[in-house]
Amino acid sequence: MRYTVGDVEKTVGEHISVIQEWEREMPMVRPKRDKAGRMVYSDRDVRILRRLKYLLYDGRLSLKEARRRLFMEFSAEKQGPHAQIALIRQELLEVHEMVKNMGSRRILRP
């Protein structure tokens, strides 16, 4: 499927100026131009942008860290299921550590 700029804004949930900034930082996102000269994005481009948004906002990673993570994820995708499982395991361990640290923090009540 091919996505227009407006479709990508709606699907990713970010303004196109933010998406274009991410494109400059993410060499794996490369929209093409159609015959009319409009930018069109592939399913893969949109999937990468949505994952990037998750890593930046929910995962609270820096752009540099998120880029590194995405490169690992997409290279694992090419390497097969064992690499994907290892990557998922690593991410689960990171989440476990984050939850463990949250539990050890003292919650202040008014």
Complete domains list, the chain, with CATH: 2-104 (1.10.1660.10)
Mean per-residue pLDDT over the chain, rounded:
85
Q: For the whole model, what pTM was predicted?
A: 0.71
Whether pLDDT at 107 is above 80: no
CA distances (Å), origin 100, targets 69, 105, 106, 108: 22, 9, 12, 18
If you ran DSSP here, which 8-state letter would residue 35 be given? T
Nearest CA among 63, 66, 49, 52 for reference residue 10 = 49
Residue found under tokens 């996102």: 29
Greater pLDDT, 23 or 103: 23
Share of the chain above pLDDT 70, in %: 90
13: left (phi over 0), alpha (psi -120 to 50) or beta: left
